[in-house]
A and B are shown apart, each in its own frame.
Chain A
Amino acid sequence: MSIDFKTLGASIAALAALGLAGCSSGADDGGETEERGSSGETEVVRYDANPFPSTYTPFESGVTLIQGATVFDGVGGEFANTDILVENGRISAIGQGLEAPEGATIIDGAGRYVTPGVIDIHSHLGVYPSPSVNAHNDGNEVTGPVTAEVWAEHGVWPQDPGFDTALAAGVTTLHVLPGSANLFGGRGVTLRNVPSRTVQGMKFPDAPYTLKMACGENPKRVYGGRGQAPGSRMGNFAGYREAWQEAVEYRRAWNEYWEAAEAGEDVSPPRRNLELDTLMGVLDGEILVQMHCYRADEMAQVMDMADEFGYQVTTFHHAVEAYKIPDLLADHGACAAVWADWGGFKMEAYDSIPENLALTDAGGACAMIHSDSDLGIQRLNHEVAKALSDGRAMGLEISDAHAVSWFTSRPAQALGIDDQTGSIEEGKRADIVIWSGHPFSSYTLADQVFIDGALMFDRADPERRTIRDFMLGQPGEGDY
């Protein structure tokens, strides 16, 4: 029986900070632990799994009624001439001819299209911000191949102007990862795309942590070039497996400790290891593996390794050859987050084809778009449009509405936040984009972008556009 390490720690932190009980999903476990802790009997050592908690607070929103738009709900539905009512930051109703509550802001959606807010599952905004000067390289801890102990959020610069341009393109949520120099690059962080003085102010509340891993050429090039392991794909796997084995033993030690301590035995806790904390979180199913991997054969071996150590690969990123193995991905339950048509920059990207997304999807695997780029993140709707049309051109039947899921609900699922966002459904966070036209047209732009019901960007209103500190007083301030 595994112990819910992350939820438990998070609950303790929440209780300590707020003096409340019963306010979050893990409260029962947390309450129990606190009782034991405060009763003065055996002190069971548990570390706070969430020491940098989200302080995100939605911006002010009112009641908004979007009327008469074509709505893509992000989970396969397309509805003509449909209204969406937003109240208290949530989607409260979807339908035709909805009544406008008193004081509601009414937005005419006629001729326009609505989708859920765009979600990018692969971004380096903040960790490789603009301008890309040396001082801003905070995305790769290139001092060793196993750095599961580093966290992307500690490298995120919330003043990256790329957040502003991404918002203007409809991006409401993004997952920022460490780079791919290392076998284990560290933890990723899921952010709300809001301006904030702090990273904590952007963190998506209760989003699961993720672990960035990397296959192939990058780690072996970076370290092999220094005469250090890994210097080959063989070395890559040896490096992963060695670390996973340590994590298995670390987890066993903690579980034995917790069991004994909870039984009242006088035991000492294992020595804490920040790297292995992260890997243990993966083995416990609390931290989602997001792995950079291009080649089909490598993904297949990684999935065997995941079975060997008892974890799940949530998403293969880039996955340029996912189209060769949709069946294997589906068997493992791994998603593929891909570009529409990038490739050629190294051998493992040589077999890139523009049908990758559509073909992987058609083969039964969970596929989605991603950007990995501060420019690409500004047009994920167009990237999906290309993938869609290339899929159709080879004869695959794919609806527009299904393709919208590739930049909305699919990445939400792969980040473990689909109960909150990624679709236009009653009760979900009101993360909404109103597009000037069909989102798959080159000429369409995001007109208005809402996050938790708050209007964060309005193309028609120069006041309603964010300008990060860096751009103040610079040439081009406010010009996206």
Chain B
Amino acid sequence: MKTLLLSLAAAASLTVPALAQDVLVINNGRVVTNTDRGIIQSGTVVIRDGAIVSVGEPIEFEAEDVRVIDAQGGWITPGLFHPHTELGLIEVGAEGSTRDDAASESHFTAAIDVADGFNPAGTHIDEARSEGITRFAVFPSTGSAIIAGRGGLASSTGEPGSLFATRRFMLIDLSDSGASTAGGSRSASWAFLRAAIEDARFYPGRFMAHHEGDAIDRYDAAALAPVVRGEIPLVMMMDRASDIARALDFNAAYPTIRIIIAGAAEAHLMAEELAEADIPVIYDPMRNLPDSFDTLASTNEGASILHDAGVRTAYTTVGSDLYFNPRLLTQHAGIAVAHGAEWSEAFRAITLTPAQIFGVGDQYGALAPGYAGDVVVWNGDPLEVMSAPTSVIIGGEIQSLETRQTRLRDRYAEVVREGGAAYRH
């Protein structure tokens, strides 16, 4: 409490208006900290210059000196961090001209970088933001090869420069679809991966005389080298337990390579081993059907099994989609809770854990001094399907909750015969 009062005092003492505008107080709500302070039943979060400076009990303050958001007894949480999206890469799924997620005709693999195609003006980013997502990972999709390229991390402000970290991870598809891409079998996928790793390991030496490596070209090998050196993680798309077992073997053979498993429908069958190896998973609690022979064991109980085993687990929305409905992340987390996961584990799986998996867990995903001012105020428990954000703050800036969809809603809120609605905007 002392910290908070001190910082508030500091804020109140700022008499220069320009500086005072940089203080934002979010008051009077149930604060989920995602730290060892747990949940503060009625608390306050103070943001200054874009970062959180204090989190604590409610206090009195001089309203003129600071901007204040009254949570009105709702919930105050860290902004959601979606670990697995194609936001900004796809506007309309069926229209290739609006997609930059995959390049099926390209011969490039690891060199592909989503930063080149990411469009912060994509309307689905606004929709994700209005549902409380403040940060997200941007994934490429596989095209001509199982190595899809490099992903980045973005905020959902929708502004230029919102892709704040590029080339942060490499994606490879080692599932049944990857097997098909690689030539027809899992064995071909793994042979390709191992050969590509060797190409990258001996880059640039083995390319001195010629351009081609065993699996990938010089330019791709250069892009894959940071994976081999352990500088960025390798995200492996896979579902089947036996594939995860191979990933564990791979991890043992290449201990410097950091692995993340995404998809992971049968990960709960390998939960102990994944926890032992400290390999994180990106997992969808919604998937519970044998939609392929890779996911026979998938179950809604999977998330709670992974948490209980101590696997670092972040949730995704692959069962809905990754470009229009990442906004349903809280609903997916609610499914995990309904099927046995602890609320705190489930909430962490859509906030702090994803940030940690991508190496930014010291900046995003918690409410503590020093963290970015990414805060969402909700009118109820954020994992309840009937709750919604009332305020979304990113980097200390209050965000618009208006979207193309709210514009349509407002235009058609009342029936207007014939063309009259077109004048309503």
**Is the pair A363, B325 in contact by a Cβ cutoff of 8 Å?**
no
Per-position binary interface string of chain A over residues 194-222, scored 1 when its CB falls under 8 Å from any chain B CB and 0 otherwise: 00000000000000000000000100010
Asked whether, in the complex, the Cβ of A470 is within 8 Å of the Cβ of B290, the reply is: yes
Judge whether B269 is part of the interface by a CB distance below 8 angstroms: yes
Check A327–B297 contact: CB distance below 8 A: no
Q: Is the CB of B290 within 8 A of A442?
A: no
> Which positions 304-354 of chain A face chain B at CB distance < 8 Å?
323-324, 326-327, 341-347, 350-354
CB-contacts of B381-425 with A (<8 A): 383-388, 405-406, 408-409, 412-413, 415, 417, 421
Give the Cβ gap from A217 to chain B, nearest Cβ, in Å. Answer: 7
> Any chain A CB within 8 A of the CB of B266?
yes
Contact A165 B384 (CB under 8 A): no
Q: Are A386 and B386 in contact (CB under 8 A)?
A: yes
Q: Classify chain B's interface size.
A: 35 or more
Chain A residues within an 8 Å CB radius of B321? 344-345
B328 in contact (CB, < 8 A): yes
Q: Contacts A161-B289, A353-B409, A389-B386 given; indicate if A345 touches B94 (C-beta within 8 A).
A: yes
Q: Give the Cβ gap from B61 to chain A, nearest Cβ, in Å.
A: 30
Q: Mark A20-61, 1 if CB is under 8 A from B, else 0.
A: 000000000000000000000000000000000000000000
Cβ–Cβ contact A475 & B338, under 8 A: no
Question: B290, A345: Cβ atoms under 8 Å?
Answer: no
Which residues of A365-404 are within 8 A (CB) of B? 374-375, 378-379, 382, 385-386, 388-390, 393-394
CB pair A347 B331 closer than 8 Å: no
**In the complex, B189 has a CB within 8 A of chain A:** no
Q: Are A346 and B385 in contact (CB under 8 A)?
A: no
Selected from B94, B292, B325, B421, the residue in CB contact (under 8 A) with A341 is B325
CB-CB < 8 A to A443: which residues of B? 334, 337-338, 383-384
Which of A88-96, A128-136, A236-244, A419-427 is the contact stretch?
A: A128-136
Q: A346 near B291 (CB under 8 angstroms)?
A: no
Known contacts A346-B95, A388-B386, A476 near B299 by CB under 8 Å: yes
Nearest CB in chain A: distance from B377 CB, A: 15
Is A9 located at the chain interface by the 8 A CB criterion? Answer: no
Q: Are A476 and B290 in contact (CB under 8 A)?
A: yes
CB distance from A302 to the nearest CB of B (A): 19
How far apart sit A408 and B414, CA to CA, in the bound complex (Å)? Answer: 27
| A145 within 8 Å of B (CB atoms) | no
From the candidates A323, A350, A378, A442, name the one contacting B412 in the complex (CB within 8 A): A323
**Are B324 and A343 closer than 8 Å at their CB atoms?**
yes
What separation, in Å, do the CA atoms of A350 and B122 have in the docked complex? Answer: 12
Determine the distance from Cα of A341 to Cα of B330 in the docked complex, in whole angstroms: 14
Given A324-B412, A327-B415, does the pair A130, B289 have CB atoms closer than 8 Å? yes
Partner of A389, one of B241, B339, B388, B417: B388
A172 and B335 CA atoms in complex are apart in Å by: 21
Contact in complex: A476, B92 (CB < 8 Å):
no
| Residues of the B chain whose Cβ atoms lie less than 8 Å from the Cβ of A470 | 290
Q: Which residues of B contact A107 (CB under 8 A)?
A: none
Q: Check A267 for interface membership: any CB of B closer than 8 A.
A: no
Residue among B94, B319, B412, B417 making CB contact with A375, cutoff 8 Å: B319
A70: shortest Cβ distance to chain B, in Å? 17
Task: Contact check, A445 vs B338: say whether CB atoms are below 8 A apart.
Answer: yes
Is chain A's binding surface mostly helix, strand, loop or mixed? loop
Contact with B along A419-453 (1 / 0, CB 8 A): 00000000000000000000011111100000000
Interface membership of B93, Cβ < 8 A: yes
Across the interface, do B93 and A345 meet the contact criterion of CB distance under 8 Å? Answer: yes
- Let me know if A440 and B385 touch, CB within 8 A: yes
Report how far A382 CA is from B385 CA in the complex, Å.
7
The residues of B that contact A341 with a CB separation of less than 8 Å are 325, 327-328
Q: Are B290 and A471 in contact (CB under 8 A)?
A: yes
**B287 contacts the other chain (Cβ, under 8 Å)?**
yes
A355 at the interface (CB under 8 A from B): yes
Given known pairs A347-B95, A480-B299, the reply for A130 and B385 (CB within 8 Å) is no
Greatest chain A CB density within 10 A among B95, B296, B412 is at B412
Please, how many angstroms separate the alpha-carbon atoms of A384 and B27 in the complex?
A: 32
Chain A residue with minimal CB distance to B240?
A475
User: Would you call B288 an interface residue if the criterion is a C-beta within 8 Å of the partner chain's C-beta atoms?
Assistant: yes
Residues of B close to A221: CB separation below 8 A: 94
Question: What is the bound-complex CA distance between A165 and B289, given in angstroms?
Answer: 8
Asked whether A217 lies within 8 Å of B94 as measured between CB atoms, the reply is yes
Tell me if A109 counts as interface (CB < 8 A to partner B). no
Chain B residues contacting A84 (CB-CB under 8 Å) are: none
Q: Give chain B nearest CB distance to A273 CB in angstroms.
A: 34
Cα A441 to Cα B343 with chains together (Å): 14
Picked from B241, B290, B408, the residue with its CB within 8 Å of the CB of A351 is B408
Measured in the bound complex, the distance between the Cα atoms of B331 and A186 in whole Å is 35
Do the beta carbons of A133 and B292 come within 8 Å of each other? Answer: yes
**A480 cross-chain contacts in B, Cβ below 8 A:** 288, 299-300
A179 proximal to B (CB < 8 A): no
Contact status B384-A441, CB under 8 Å: yes
Please tell me if A359 contacts chain B, counting CB pairs below 8 Å.
yes
* B 289-315 to A, binary, CB cutoff 8 A, 1 in contact else 0: 111110111111100000000000000
Q: Is A68 an interface residue (CB 8 A)?
A: no
B269 closest partner in A (C-beta): A475
The complex places the Cα of A165 from the Cα of B90 at a distance, in Å, of 31
Q: Contact at B385–A374, with CB atoms within 8 Å?
A: no
- CA A375 – CA B335 in complex, angstroms? 12
- B141-194 contacts to A, CB under 8 A, are none
Q: List, in ascending order, chain A residues with CB within 8 A of B335's CB.
A: 379, 442
Residue B129 CB within 8 A of the other chain: no
Give bound CA distance, A474 to B241, whole Å: 13
- B417 engages A327 (CB within 8 Å): yes
Bound-state CA distance A130–B295 (Å) is: 10
Q: Residue B385 contacts which of A161, A323, A351, A389 (CB distance < 8 angstroms)?
A: A389
B323 lies within 8 A of chain A by Cβ: yes
- Which residues on A sit within 8 Å (CB–CB) of B417? 327
Evaluate whether A394 and B409 lie within 8 angstroms (CB atoms) in the complex, with A131-B292, A389-B385 already known. Answer: yes
User: Nearest Cβ in chain B — how far from A334, in angstroms?
Assistant: 16
Would you call A102 an interface residue if the criterion is a C-beta within 8 Å of the partner chain's C-beta atoms? no
> Residue B279 at the A interface, CB < 8 A?
no
- Which residues of chain B are within 8 angstroms of A342 by Cβ–Cβ distance? 320, 324-325
| Complexed CA–CA distance, A377 and B98 (Å) | 30
B53 touches A (CB below 8 Å): no
Establish whether residues A475 and B297, one from each chain, have CB atoms under 8 Å apart when the complex forms. Answer: yes
| A363 CB to nearest chain B CB (Å) | 6
Interchain Cβ contacts under 8 Å between A and B, 24 examples: A130-B291, A131-B295, A162-B289, A165-B288, A165-B289, A327-B415, A327-B417, A344-B321, A345-B94, A346-B95, A352-B405, A375-B289, A386-B331, A389-B385, A393-B388, A441-B384, A442-B338, A442-B384, A474-B290, A475-B296, A476-B290, A476-B296, A479-B299, A480-B299
The 4 residue pairs across chains A and B that have the minimum distance between CB atoms: A442-B334, A476-B297, A344-B324, A345-B93
Given A131-B290, A375-B288, 20 additional A-B pairs, CB 8 A: A131-B295, A132-B292, A165-B288, A217-B94, A344-B323, A344-B324, A346-B94, A359-B413, A378-B288, A382-B385, A385-B385, A389-B387, A389-B388, A393-B388, A394-B409, A441-B385, A442-B337, A442-B383, A443-B334, A475-B296
Q: Hey, which bits of chain A sit against chain B, CB under 8 A?
A: 130-133, 161-162, 165, 217, 221, 323-324, 326-327, 341-347, 350-355, 359, 363, 374-375, 378-379, 382, 385-386, 388-390, 393-394, 440-445, 470-471, 474-476, 479-480
